[in-house]
């Protein structure tokens, strides 16, 4: 019997000292959480020392240069420092999960703060800059950490020879560009109001309740203002006609001809309805006057005691007083002010060295001129249908093309991902068919 040959291998004395895979991951999470926590503590302290003053990006082109330098730092760091441990940590998955949780924690804080004047906010909230949550120092510090991880992780992935990196880059760099552009564009966003009456033109815009004004690089002439209303509805007021006593949950009865409904113990029948009427003796007649108001003749029957009342009601206007109908001794039937269904402005737009052009402005249907977006905002509500004033919102955001481009990147990346998964799901069946053919 031969004796066992002793092993010539040298024992690894440092094996027990090497961190395991799980230990390394746990250490990365601990360091990442500490970085996020430390960032919040420093940001809160800085915000408190500045009295909660909100952050503001420099105006264009300063913000564009700043974003370009930040992007250049991310690319340079990824190319030349991707093998360094700190860079790997900041662009890694552990830090990504902590940075996302950290950022959305501040998003949650911003969403829970009620929209109140600064005088009504708690001093602690004011010191954190939460009067304008998305412009506060802690919120933007958390966003910066998230963007740094997203940028480093995306560019580092691009440098590796991995399948699907184009899809990954389109999705993640699109999100990075979208958030970065949104952050930097806050100082360039302009929102003004143009008030113009029929037959007049102006290039003057105001904001802050008229305390700020400026001239726009174009002019607007109002040719015509029009408004359409929904059918008026029945409501209830007290006997003194001073307080609406209709309660939430009670039926809404449209005052259209031949409409029938019931409210409380009264059955309502609309005998006659005029969309635009003026008083005519004891009744009303149709009128095309801009000062006319809707009117309706109703028959109300009490289903408990059989009492009936009949008469005209109207919400009134400048030229026509309000009219109600007494129902017993407890309340009166009245017509609520009709809600606007559509209002629009027919305008002519003027630009230097350009032919004037006609346009129709409606709510949520903007038109564009000289880098500005125009949208129908409001009108003289006190005049109602007789309003000859149109209030137009003018918005300018030079970063919108970049934001649209970023959204396009995300959409393209998502589309490529769907096609890739569909192709991967088809591949096994195709391989099976080939085996059968063999």
Domain that holds residue 200: 191-228+341-396
Distance CA 360, CA 170 (A): 38
- Percentage with pLDDT > 70 across the chain: 91
pLDDT band at 433 (very low <50, low <70, confident <90, very high): very low
Domain end among 379, 396, 413 = 396
What mean pLDDT do residues 224-228 have?
93
Interval 319-337: pLDDT, tens: 889 999 999 888 999 999 9
Is 221 in the same domain as 272?
Answer: no
Distance, in Å, from the CA atom of 293 to the CA atom of 277, rounded to the nearest integer, reads: 5
Mean pLDDT of all residues in the chain?
88
- In a domain, residue 414? The reply is no
Indicate whether 381 belongs to any domain. Answer: yes
Same domain, 84 and 162: yes
| pLDDT above 90: residue 169 | no
The residue among 338, 364, 382 that closes a domain is 338
Q: How far apart are CA 165 and CA 153, in angstroms?
A: 11
Q: Which residue has the higher pLDDT, 35 or 320?
A: 35
Q: Which phi and psi angles does 156 have, rounded to 5°?
A: -65, -40
Whether 118 has a pLDDT exceeding 80, the answer reads no
What pLDDT band is residue 148 in, cutting at 50, 70 and 90? very high
| pLDDT value, residue 21 | 52
For residue 175, being part of any structural domain is answered with yes
pLDDT at 39 over 90: yes
- Determine the pLDDT at residue 113: 80
pLDDT at residue number 424: 73
Q: In this structure, are 34 and 159 located in the same domain?
A: yes
Q: How confident is the model at residue 238 (pLDDT cuts 50, 70, 90)?
A: very high
Whether residue 105 has pLDDT greater than 80: yes
In a domain, 361, yes or no: yes
Q: Are strands 266-280 and 372-379 parallel, antiparallel or unpaired?
A: unpaired
Measured CA to CA, the distance from residue 297 to residue 41 in angstroms comes to: 68
Confidence class for position 352, pLDDT limits 50, 70, 90: very high
Q: Are residues 58 and 160 in the same domain?
A: yes
**pLDDT of the residue at 20:** 56
- Give pLDDT tens digits for 263-294: 999 999 999 999 999 999 989 999 989 889 99
- Do 351 and 247 fall within a single domain? no
Residue 437 has a pLDDT of: 46
> In total, how many domains does the chain have?
3
402 or 166, greater pLDDT: 402
Residues 198 and 297 in one domain: no
Give the pLDDT of residue 435.
45
Task: Give the pLDDT of residue 1.
Answer: 46
Q: Would you say residue 422 lies in a domain?
A: no
More confident residue, 222 or 434: 222
Give the mean model confidence (pLDDT) for residues 50-68. Answer: 88
Question: At residue 428, does pLDDT exceed 60?
Answer: no
Residue 427 lies in a domain: no
Q: How confident is the model at residue 36 (pLDDT cuts 50, 70, 90)?
A: very high
Q: Do 174 and 60 belong to one domain?
A: yes
The region that residue 63 occupies, defined by phi over 0 for left and psi between -120 and 50 for alpha, beta otherwise, is: alpha
Q: Which pLDDT does position 276 carry in this prediction?
A: 93
- Same domain (yes/no): 277, 372: no
Point out the least confidently predicted range of 61-75, 124-138, 231-245.
124-138
Does residue 112 carry a pLDDT above 90?
A: no
pLDDT at 214 over 60: yes
What was the pLDDT predicted at 263?
Answer: 94
Is the pLDDT reported for residue 430 higher than 50?
A: no
Mean pLDDT of 237-258: 91
pLDDT interval class at 15 (50, 70, 90)? very low
Q: How many residues does the chain have?
A: 438
Residue that is last in its domain, among 135, 154, 187: 187
Between residues 118 and 417, the one the model is more confident about: 417
Residue 416, in any domain of the structure: no
C-beta separation of 277 from 287 below 8 A: yes
242 and 207 co-located in one domain: no
53 and 125 share a domain?
yes
Q: Are residues 177 and 44 in the same domain?
A: yes
**What order of strands is seen across the sheet that includes strand 331-335?**
234-237, 331-335, 325-327
- Asked whether the bond before 228 is cis by omega within 30 degrees of 0, the reply is no
- Are residues 176 and 217 both part of a single domain? no
Position 13 confidence tier, pLDDT thresholds 50, 70, 90: very low
Is there a domain that residue 410 lies in? no
């Amino acid at each position: 019997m031969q004796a066992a040959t002793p092993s010539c291998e040298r024992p690894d004395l440092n094996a027990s000292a090497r961190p395991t895979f799980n230990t390394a991951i746990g250490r990365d999470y601990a360091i990442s959480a500490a970085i996020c926590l430390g960032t919040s503590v420093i940001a809160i302290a800085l915000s408190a020392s500045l009295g909660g003053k909100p952050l503001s990006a420099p105006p264009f082109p300063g913000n564009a240069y700043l974003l370009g330098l930040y992007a250049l730092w991310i690319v340079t760091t990824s190319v030349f420092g991707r093998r360094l441990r700190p860079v790997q940590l900041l662009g890694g998955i552990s830090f990504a999960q902590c940075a996302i949780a950290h950022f959305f924690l501040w998003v949650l804080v911003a969403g829970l703060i009620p929209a109140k004047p600064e005088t009504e906010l708690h001093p602690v909230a004011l010191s954190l800059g939460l009067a304008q949550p998305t412009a506060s120092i802690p919120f933007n510090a958390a966003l910066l950490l998230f963007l740094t991880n997203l940028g480093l992780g995306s560019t580092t992935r691009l440098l590796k020879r991995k399948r699907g990196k184009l899809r990954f880059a389109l999705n993640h760099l699109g999100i990075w560009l979208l958030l970065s552009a949104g952050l930097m564009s806050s100082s360039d966003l302009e929102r003004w109001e143009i008030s113009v009456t029929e037959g007049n033109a102006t290039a003057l815009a105001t904001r802050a309740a008229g305390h700020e004004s400026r001239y726009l690089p174009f002019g607007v002439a109002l040719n015509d203002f029009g408004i359409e209303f929904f059918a008026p509805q029945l409501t209830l007021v007290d006997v003194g006609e001073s307080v609406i006593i209709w309660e939430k949950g009670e039926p809404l009865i449209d005052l259209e001809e031949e409409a029938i409904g019931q409210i409380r113990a009264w059955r309502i029948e609309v005998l006659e309805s005029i969309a635009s009427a003026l008083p005519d003796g004891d009744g009303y007649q149709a009128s095309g006057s801009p000062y006319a108001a809707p009117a309706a003749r109703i028959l109300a029957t009490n289903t408990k005691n059989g009492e009936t009342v009949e008469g005209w009601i109207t919400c009134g206007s400048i030229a026509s007083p309000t009219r109600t109908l007494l129902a017993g001794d407890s309340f009166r039937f009245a017509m609520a002010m009709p809600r606007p269904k559509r209002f629009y402005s027919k305008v002519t737009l003027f630009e230097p060295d350009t032919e004037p052009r006609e346009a129709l402005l409606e709510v949520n249907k903007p038109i564009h001129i000289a880098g500005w977006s125009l949208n129908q905002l409001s009108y003289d509500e006190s005049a109602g249908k007789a309003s000859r004033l149109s209030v137009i919102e003018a918005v300018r955001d030079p970063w919108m093309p970049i934001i649209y481009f970023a959204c396009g990147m995300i959409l393209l990346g998502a589309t490529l991902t769907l096609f890739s998964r569909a192709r991967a799901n088809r591949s096994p069946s195709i391989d099976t068919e080939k085996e059968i053919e063999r």
